[in-house]
Amino acid sequence: MNQKVKNLIQKLGEAIHESVSESEDIAVVVKNIREQGFDVLLMLEATIGLNEVEAETGDSEAEIEAIDESVEGPFTPNDLSFLKSLRISLIEENAPEE
């Protein structure tokens, strides 16, 4: 992984930390917990996964539409695209008969 990507990942981590530490909603809840006589230690773990983007063939939208028509369930095109990026297929393939 090149240094530029490493720096961007570090900036992402810092941005997440700042978002949490500056959140008024979180501050209010922590204050309420402290008023109940407890100290709060908040530890968050963020896992950042990267996959290199492959050159697109231009028919990925058509593939998602074809999958969308053949899959039952409450899936949006964005859901299907996300699942595809994780290499999860919703179309059951016929298992070979034994």
Asked if the model's pLDDT at residue 92 lies above 60, the reply is: no
Q: What is the pLDDT of residues 40-62, one digit of tens each?
A: 998 888 777 787 777 655 555 56
What are the backbone angles phi and psi of residue 78, rounded to the nearest 5°?
-65, -40
SS3 3: helix
Tell me what the mean pLDDT of segment 25-42 comes to.
94
d(CA 91, CA 83): 12
How would you label 40-55 residue by residue, b for 16+ Cβ within 10 Å and e otherwise? eeeeeeeeeeeeeeee
For the chain, the first-to-last Cα distance in angstroms comes to 45
Q: Is the pLDDT of residue 93 over 60?
A: no
Token pair listed for 4: 């530029």
Rounded Cα distance between 84 and 65, Å, is: 12
